[in-house]
Amino acid sequence: MKKNFEEMSYDELLTEFKNIIKANGLKFTSQREAILRTLYDNPQHFTSENLYMLVKQRHPDLTIGIATVYRTLALLEENSLVSSISLGIQGKKFEIANKPHHDHLICKECGKIVEFGNEKIESLQHQIAKENGFELTDHLMQLYGVCSECKKET
Amino acid sequence: MKKNFEEMSYDELLTEFKNIIKANGLKFTSQREAILRTLYDNPQHFTSENLYMLVKQRHPDLTIGIATVYRTLALLEENSLVSSISLGIQGKKFEIANKPHHDHLICKECGKIVEFGNEKIESLQHQIAKENGFELTDHLMQLYGVCSECKKET
DNA sequence: CTGTGTGCAAACATTTTGCAAGCAG
DNA sequence: CTGCTTGCAAAATGTTTGCACACAG
């Protein structure tokens, strides 16, 4: 049974993380907390390197290595507290999994991003996966086009 | 104006490739042809390494290096003769772009890729774009999940 | 105390680049 | 001939691993 972490506050996420740690006989460390905290406060998509640098910047007192970032992201991802997607050229990116699901409509001219959710598409995606014997866990959908303002200009 | 290479025969693709080469002041070499030919004959998804080994196997007389494969794939992709998708775990994969439009269903465990096309989703995407004042030009849709075989193993 | 977690550096895996020689045009 | 292309090896990236010390429980 998969947990649903949508809309959770930081404290709730932290509690979940501690439970996961305890359940696996692991230990709660300041590095692990700093990573979760940084992911929570910056709900963008991170590369491992981005996250590593931001954690160091926000916690100058804490020593942390890139290896710990990789190890912690793997742990968080295994337990669905963060999700990762691979974005074309830009490599693998991570984000904390407490946001409601949405996809993106992106203007090729000005870069404007509109978030949208569409249940019909979601259900068709599940149907397609099912027809092919897949258990759907995730998807990436980005629509590219030209927004109304940029259309005017041309 | 973007070219449409759908359903092209090998000879047509080769002519396109030669035109691209000429137009850019480049040169037509046996390595470049061997790569295009191998991509055409094996319309699966290749990693660079896969393709490199298959080209060597199919053209034992030809000397070719991995660097040439990377360079040629980049050239082909810039000119839309091949398209690439990037997969979390398994790296970047390429396929020749003479197939009708389709999207991908990807197994997170073993990297297996299933192609699918769904007109309902395509039309919903256009509708979403329209509702937001966008003119849709393009999209990226990848569904991630676990395939039936990998499900068995767990 | 015990055993997990950590940083560091080395090891890996993948992709890119510099270079001198090869060859298409 | 000219200069683009190639293979090779070295370099650059991105990620993982081995190890000895640190520290949570």
Give the best-scoring range by mean pLDDT among A91-100, A101-110, B37-46, B114-123.
B114-123
In strand D, the nucleotides that come within 7 Å of a protein beta carbon are 3-9, 14-18, 23-25
C-alpha A38/C-alpha A51 separation (Å) is 8
CA of A84 to C1' of D6 (A): 38
- pLDDT of A77 reads 92
Q: Look at residue B2 and tell me if it is in a domain.
A: no
CA of B41 to C1' of D15 (A): 34
Which of A109-113, B45-49, B121-125 is predicted least confidently? Answer: A109-113
Interfacial A residues in 33-92 facing B (CB < 8 Å): 84-89, 91-92
User: Is the residue at B129 inside a domain?
Assistant: yes
A79: CB within 7 A of chain C nucleic strand? no
B15 with B90, same domain: the answer is yes
Given A96, A121, A142, the domain boundary residue is A96
Two tokens at B134?
């966008």
CA distance A129 to B142: 11
B105: enclosing H helix or E strand: strand B103-107
Residues in a beta bridge with A93 = A85
> Does residue B77 share a domain with residue B36?
yes
Q: What confidence score (pLDDT) does residue A151 get?
A: 83
Is residue B3 a part of any domain in this protein?
Answer: no
Full domain range(s) for residue B85:
10-96
> What pLDDT score was predicted for residue B117?
94
Q: If you average pLDDT over every residue of chain A, what do you get?
A: 87
Shared domain for B31 and B81, answered yes or no, is yes
Domain presence at residue B114: yes
- Tokens representing A5 are 């972490």
Residue of B nearest to A85 (CA): B88
Residue A97 — very low, low, confident or very high, per pLDDT cuts 50/70/90? confident
Q: For the domain that residue A143 is a member of, what is the CATH number? A: 3.30.1490.190
Clarify whether residues B67 and B141 are in a common domain.
no
Q: Given an 8 Å threshold on Cβ–Cβ distance, is A136 in contact with B124?
A: no
pLDDT of B89 reads: 52
In the predicted structure, residue A154 carries a pLDDT above the cut 70: no
A97 phi and psi angles, rounded to 5 deg: -95, 45
Residues A53-72 have pLDDT tens digits of: 999 999 999 999 999 999 99
Same domain, A18 and A91: yes
- Per the CB < 8 Å rule, is B87 touching A87? no
Q: Please check whether residues A17 and A69 belong to one and the same domain.
A: yes
Query: For residues B93 and B51, what is the distance between their CA atoms, to the nearest angstrom?
Result: 10
Instruction: Give DSSP secondary structure letters for B58-80.
Output: H-TTS---HHHHHHHHHHHHHTT
B129–A143 CB contact, under 8 Å: yes
Give the pLDDT score at B1. Answer: 45
Is the distance from CB of A75 to CB of A67 less than 8 angstroms?
Answer: no
Q: Is A134 close to B147, i.e. CB distance below 8 A?
A: yes
Mean pLDDT of A113-139: 92
Per-residue pLDDT for A86 more than 60?
no
A27 and A85 belong to one structural domain:
yes
Residue B86 maps to which CATH number? 1.10.10.10
The pLDDT score that the predictor gives to residue A144 is 80
- Taking C1' of C3 and every protein CA, the nearest residue is A26
Answer with the one of A96, A117, A138 that is the final residue of a domain. Answer: A96
Question: Locate tokens 């998804």: which residue?
Answer: B45
Say whether A142 and B139 touch across the interface (CB within 8 A). Answer: yes
Percent of chain B with pLDDT over 70: 93
CA distance A4 to A83: 12
- Chain B window 62-81, residues with Cβ within 7 A of nucleic strand D: 62-68, 71-72
- Are residues B134 and B91 part of one domain? no
Size of interface A-B (CB pairs under 8 A): 113
For residue A1, what pLDDT is reported? 45
Q: Based on the fold, state whether residues A60 and A108 are members of the same structural domain.
A: no
In a domain, B17, yes or no: yes
Domain match, B79 and B118 both: no
3-class state of residue B33 by DSSP: helix
Sequence-separated (6 or more) residues with CB below 8 Å from residue B102 = B115, B116, B117
Q: Is residue A4 part of a domain?
A: no
Whether residue B151 lies within 8 A of chain A, CB to CB, comes out as yes
Whether B41 is in a domain gets the answer yes
Q: Same domain, yes or no, for B31 and B50?
A: yes
Number of domains in chain B: 2
pTM for this one? 0.80
Scan for tokens 């329209």, then name that residue.
B130
Tokens 């929570």 identify what position? A40
User: Is A2 part of any domain?
Assistant: no
Predicted local confidence at residue A59, as pLDDT:
96
Dihedral sign for Cα atoms in the order B7, B11, B15, B21: positive
Instruction: Determine what percent of chain A is predicted with pLDDT higher than 90.
Output: 57
Asked if residue A117 and residue A71 are part of one domain, the reply reads no
φ and ψ at residue B99, rounded to 5 degrees: -100, 150
Residue B128 phi, psi (nearest 5): -60, -45
Check whether A134 has a pLDDT greater than 50: yes
